[in-house]
Structure 1
Amino acid sequence: MKTNILKTVLLFAVIIFFNCSNNDDSIEQDQLPPITQTGANTFGCVVNGKVIIPKDGIGVPQPKGINVYYFQNNNFVIDAANLKDSNRDRIYLYVNNLTSTGTYSFGVSNGQGTSTFEPDFPHCWVRTFDNANGSKRYFSNLNSGSITVTYFDANNHIVAGTFQLTVANENDTNDVIEITEGRFDVNWIEL
């Protein structure tokens, strides 16, 4: 009798153990948004094989994971970050004088933000952070990639397109990040 009870308890313990174990298939992975041209307010890319999408932070007011600006001088900025994770990876894309669809080659970035409009040509910078290595900034270089604006509607405030490039660490040009499958579809008034 004691043997049967012991076997039953042991069987339940094994079942509970396997049901409580971490199943990686059940963890939801970030997915790239579809490529659209409707002002869906989506952004995503693959950075060194990892999908990056903006995520709003926590707090009041809630920090936005994506900010889009289209200034009177036709300068266009997407500033996207994952504000939920401790890594807080961030991608900054800038296109000057954006008035129509087309492909724009990235130039040398100096890591400046929207307030300076410098440098005054398409560029990109990326900030990464991890607990082991701290924060690093990576900059676009001359002809390191391009951004293609596939849809531009100033009346409805919509810009959509794709991008890909390689960015290099500001302190070590041998340390590079590959950004592929980049896509965005934004309405600069709604964000």
Structure 2
Amino acid sequence: MPTSPLSRLLLAGLTLTLLAPTLSGCELSSSVPREMMPPVTQTGANKAGALVNGATWLPLAGVLFGSPAYRVRVNRTPQSGRGFEFSLSLTRQAPEGSEKYYPKPDSNIRFFLPSVLAPGSFALNESVTAPFPSEQGRHGVLTDYTTSPVFHYPTGSGPASGQLVITRFDTVARVVAGTFEFTGQRGAELIKVTQGRFDVIY
């Protein structure tokens, strides 16, 4: 027997009522970002990431007129035979209003190497002092801008150390790629950065 227009309307309304919680749940979950670590590459993909105390941390330029997500500098050193100075700055600025969904929503990871001749492994174990960014010795530092005052977690000596491995250092194609891990320290507080990787152009 054919269904009347009124019955069809009531049936459609009932279906939408039953689906409403599911749809609203989907909408809510879609606002929470699923950040995936990029693969380890050496192609100039302009990708980077790490785990900060076990949580995924990706560079993100989510604020209008904010800092760029990637900033790379490779300059020939004035001293003969020392190659190039290398600095890498990875910035994370979550979109305004969504900061609660991002671990360390306003933060920065930065490295400085005073002398790079070729790909290789570089210990991050030379003491540096604030203010940051600093160009003093081999180091890494995580800076948390969500705190007041700003918290810096640099490497240095003892437990606050780490390693940056450059797997591609191409001054012709202007590509630098590699991996990193380090422990930064502020007073007695340690912060661990693990499984880091970067593949950037400059």
Q: Which residue of 1 aligns with 2:154?
A: 139
Aligned residue type for 1:138: Y
Q: Which residue of 1 aligns with 2:21?
A: 17
| Contact 2:176–2:200 under 8 Å retained in 1 | yes
Give the 3 Å change call, closer, same or farther, for CA 57–13 of structure 1 in structure 2: closer
User: What is the CA distance between 1:125 and its match in structure 2?
Assistant: 1.1
Matched residues, percent identical? 23
Q: Which residue of 1 aligns with 2:90?
A: 80
| Contact 1:82–1:89 under 8 Å retained in 2 | yes
User: What is the CA distance between 1:24 and its match in structure 2?
Assistant: 4.1
User: What is the CA distance between 1:113 and its match in structure 2?
Assistant: 4.5
Q: Which residue of 2 aligns with 1:63?
A: 67
**Distance (Å, rounded) in 2 between the aligned partners of 1:54 and 1:176:** 21
Aligned residue type for 2:23: N
**Distance (Å, rounded) in 2 between the aligned partners of 1:167 and 1:179:** 8
| Contact 1:111–1:139 under 8 Å retained in 2 | no
Q: Which residue of 1 aligns with 2:46?
A: 41
**Distance (Å, rounded) in 2 between the aligned partners of 1:91 and 1:20:** 36
Structure 2: runs of 5+ lacking an equivalent: 1-11, 78-83, 100-104
Structure 1: runs of 5+ lacking an equivalent: 1-7
Counterpart pick for 1:28 among 18, 30, 33? 33
Deviations 1:9-49 (A, max 9, x none): 78854531332136648843111111111111111111011
Aligned residue type for 1:59: L
User: What is the CA distance between 1:77 and its match in structure 2?
Assistant: 0.7
Q: Aligned-pair RMSD on alpha carbons?
A: 2.8
User: What is the CA distance between 1:94 and its match in structure 2?
Assistant: 0.8
Q: Which residue of 2 aligns with 1:128?
A: 144
Answering whether residue 200 of structure 2 is matched by residue 186 of structure 1, we say yes
Q: Which residue of 1 aligns with 2:177?
A: 160
Aligned residue type for 1:122: R
User: What is the CA distance between 1:135 and its match in structure 2?
Assistant: 3.3
**Distance (Å, rounded) in 2 between the aligned partners of 1:136 and 1:14:** 48
* Equivalent pairs, count: 176
Q: Which residue of 1 aligns with 2:129?
A: 110
Aligned residue type for 1:71: N
Compute the TM-score of the two structures, normalised by the length of structure 2.
Answer: 0.74
Give the 3 Å change call, closer, same or farther, for CA 111–185 of structure 1 in structure 2: farther
| Contact 2:107–2:146 under 8 Å retained in 1 | no
| Contact 1:89–1:128 under 8 Å retained in 2 | yes
| Contact 2:124–2:138 under 8 Å retained in 1 | yes
Q: Which residue of 2 aligns with 1:3?
A: none
**Distance (Å, rounded) in 2 between the aligned partners of 1:89 and 1:150:** 25
User: What is the CA distance between 1:129 and its match in structure 2?
Assistant: 3.9
Give the 3 Å change call, closer, same or farther, for CA 106–84 of structure 1 in structure 2: same
